Structure formats: structure tokens, C-alpha cells
Homo-oligomer: A and B are copies of this chain.
Amino acid sequence: MTRNTRDEWAAQIAALEDAPPARKEPITVGRIVTTALALVEAEGFDALTMRRVAAALQTGPASLYAHVRNKAELDDLLIGALSKNVVVPAPDPARWREQVLDVCAQLRDQFLRYPGIARAALAAPPANLNTLRITEGVLAILLAGGVPPRKAAWAIDAALLYVSAYTVESSLRGETDRGEMLARLKMLPPNRFPHTLEHVDEINAGEGHDRFEFAIGLLLDGLSAG
């Protein structure tokens, strides 16, 4: 409601600026994607609506379907665009662990920048070309590090899955903050949740992305050992 009117308002202002000279710029997939990303960045994945994107482009929803088959395809395009932003380093056998962790962190930050978009990443087919570029790069790093192919491939799979799940959850945690969470844990009945209560501070510990790096590290450490 108040959003739609605001979009229209912005559209009017934009039109007022350069309506007389330039004819309306044609809609392209690129413009759709950048508009959608801006929308998600500003208001989260739930706000990503065909209508909202169309409104931001000063048009109706139907116009989008000339360039994009589905909303699902739009989602795919979005995570593809995000994947293009992560840089995959050339394999350095001595530092394969850090390199992989760095790529995962990049992907995580991309997902976190656009809250909730990781849901689309989970739904997207893993055959997306841009994500395959990442897995190819990480595979190269792991192979250079001496990890056997199958283990490498499966570990990549698990790591990327974890990145998505982690970012999905992180995007929701904005709502209920840590203190609230801790308070609820402390209300648990001691007879049924003895261990949880005893180590509640440990459970709740972890600044920033400590848990993230711990989990990915766990996955990677298992590779060197075997």
C-alpha cells in the first residue's frame, strides 16, 4: 500500500526528470535483475514481487514475462548474479584451507547482503552456470590441495548447502535477538534440559561468524585427515 504509492511517486519523479527528451528505456533482463536486487537489499526477499519489480520499472507485471519465464527463473538469475560477485582465487596448494573458507565467506556475505535470498539459492537447481563456476574453482583448489576427487566434490556440496542454510537462518534472526533467545533458554525446566542449561552460555556464544567458520572448518579438516 504505502509502498506501492511510494514506488509510483518515485516513478513520477524519475519521469519528471527526463520524460521530454529520452523515450522510455527498454526493459532488459539486466535491468530487471538489478532492480530486483536493489529491492531485496532494501526490503528483503519477501518484498520481491513481480508487481514491485514492475512498479519500480514504471510498468505493469505482465511486461516482465517477456524477458523472464517465471518468478523462479528470476530467482535463479538473482543468485546467478550474486555468484558472479565472488572471486575464486587460483589454487595455492599450501593454503587450500583458507582459500576455500574465503570463498564460502564471500558467498555468505553476498547472501547476507540480500536478506532472505538464500531461500532462492536452496530452491535453485545446482546446475546454475554461475554457481558451477564457483564449485569448479573450489574443486580445483581442493584437488590441488591433495584431496581425493570424490571427497572434494561431496565436501563442496555439503559446504554450499551449509552456507545457504546458515544465511537463511541468519536472515531470520534479525527479528528475535540473541538476548531474547538466551532468556528463553534459561526458562527451560532443569530436569528435562540439564545439559542445555548448564552450557547455555557456550551454546549462545560466538561473535559474528565464529560458528560459520567453525562449521566450514570442521568440514575441511575432515578432508585432510582421510
Binding site for B on A (CB under 8 A): 119, 122-123, 125-127, 132-133, 135-136, 139-140, 143, 149-155, 157-158, 161-162, 164-166, 168-169, 172, 176, 181, 184-185, 188, 192-196, 198-199, 202-203, 205-206, 211, 214-215, 217-219, 221-223, 225
> By the criterion CB–CB under 8 Å, are A136 and B192 in contact?
yes
Closest 10 A/B residue pairs (Cβ)? A158-B215, A218-B222, A165-B165, A149-B199, A153-B203, A161-B165, A150-B202, A149-B202, A139-B195, A136-B196
Question: Of all chain B residues, which has the CB nearest A212?
Answer: B158
Alpha-carbon separation in the docked complex, A206 to B153 (Å): 11
Cβ of A158 and Cβ of B211 under 8 Å apart?
Answer: yes
Q: Do B188 and A122 touch (CB < 8 A)?
A: no
- For the complex with contacts A125-B176, A150-B205, 8 further pairs of A-B residues with Cβ separation under 8 Å are A136-B192, A150-B203, A157-B215, A161-B165, A161-B166, A161-B169, A218-B223, A219-B219
Task: With CB as the reference atom, state the residue of chain B lying closest to A210.
Answer: B154
Residues of B within 8 A of A158 (CB): 162, 211, 214-215, 218
Q: Find A122's partner among B150, B165, B196 (CB 8 Å cutoff).
A: B165
